[in-house]
Amino acid sequence: MNTRAPRRGITLKKQDEIERMSRAGAVVASVLDAARDWVLPGRTTKWIDGQAEALIRESGGRPAFKGYRGFPASICSSVNEAVVHGIPNEEPLRDGDLVKIDVGVEFESYFGDSAWTFAVGEPSAEAERLCETCLGALEAGIDAARPGNKIRDIAAAIEGAVRPTRFGIVEQYVGHGIGRRLHEAPQIPNYVADDFEDLDVELQSGMVLAIEPMVNAGDPGVVTLDDGWTVVTKDRRLSSHFEHTVWISEEGPVVLTRSSAKKLERRRFRG
């Protein structure tokens, strides 16, 4: 265990805390695993929200987003041009939609947080490239989450995976530390933002980070709708979002929200 004092309120988790976070992460993963079979044409995101809440509660967890700053549902469901923080609704999903499902769970007083982009039916070629790029960026970011690296290395890895494409990296929303609270220090931008003071924070074993690139098909700009929550692309083109909760161990990154069945990784984002 590293004994150096972490900076700016960043908490280093002990082994028993990692074990609890791993159990919280497993509940999150089980919901996203099940969600693949829920995301079908004609289904509504409100129905998916109900299924997710039931599964979380059956597992002994609490849906972390419900009531968070007044958020009215258990999951965030963001369709097509919606990037993050979409409120589940009664609109039926249609073939070709891209649905981002973000799941947060509190379990044994610790949090897990993960998001996945699912295609309803067959995605367009552009949607597929967008999702591949965003998922590749998440994987690159996770790989950089090692002791001795800095937040900057995660940001640069994500940026490096997206910049060669013509897609836009969302700048207004960032990854975050996670533990006894859903959002802890540090913040993790998805590009090397030089005005970001956490960039030079050194990564230490025992940190747990939610890494979450958001990538737009077009312009990186986003706006919030009048519902006060739903963040959409300014140009109303598609967006993709993938997130994992990652423990930085002595040996390197350990994803706490990966599906134990590895089903998500094998089948990628295709329905």
* 113 binding Mg ion? (CB under 5 A): yes
Q: Which stretch binds Mg ion (CB under 5 A): 60-68, 100-108, 135-143, 234-242?
A: 100-108
**Among 97, 102, 106, 139, which residue interacts with Mg ion (rule: CB under 5 A)?**
102
Q: Which stretch binds Mg ion (CB under 5 A): 18-26, 107-115, 136-144, 185-193?
A: 107-115
CB of 113 to Mg ion, least distance (A): 4
Residue with tokens 């077009």: 218
* 184 binding Mg ion? (CB under 5 A): no
CB-count burial class (<10 Å; 0-12, 13-18, 19+) for 160: middle
Q: Quote the tokens at residue 100.
A: 């981002």
- Give the Cα separation of 215 and 204 in Å (integer): 27
Q: Quote the tokens at residue 216.
A: 């737009």
Contacts of 39 (CB under 8 A, 6+ apart): 48, 93, 99, 101, 118, 120, 271
Do the Cβ atoms of 240 and 130 come closer than 8 Å?
yes
Q: Which stretch binds Mg ion (CB under 5 A): 46-54, 166-174, 198-206, 210-218?
A: 210-218
CB of 23 to Mg ion, least distance (A): 18
- Give the Cα separation of 45 and 169 in Å (integer): 25
Q: Quote the tokens at residue 226.
A: 């009048």
Q: Which stretch binds Mg ion (CB under 5 A): 94-102, 139-147, 186-194, 231-239?
A: 94-102
**Range 236-260 burial, b when 16+ CB lie within 10 A, else e:** ebbbbbbbbbbbbeeebbbbbbbbe
**Among 120, 140, 210, 238, which residue interacts with Mg ion (rule: CB under 5 A)?**
210
Give how many residues touch Mg ion by CB under 5 A. Answer: 5
Residue with tokens 């140009």: 235
Task: Let me know how many helices (H) and strands (E) the chain has, helices first.
Answer: 5, 15
CB of 243 to Mg ion, least distance (A): 5
Q: Which stretch binds Mg ion (CB under 5 A): 65-73, 124-132, 242-250, 260-268?
A: 242-250
CB of 3 to Mg ion, least distance (A): 28
Closer Cβ to Mg ion, 21 or 210, answer by number: 210
* 106 binding Mg ion? (CB under 5 A): no
Residues making contact with Mg ion (CB under 5 A): 102, 113, 115, 210, 243
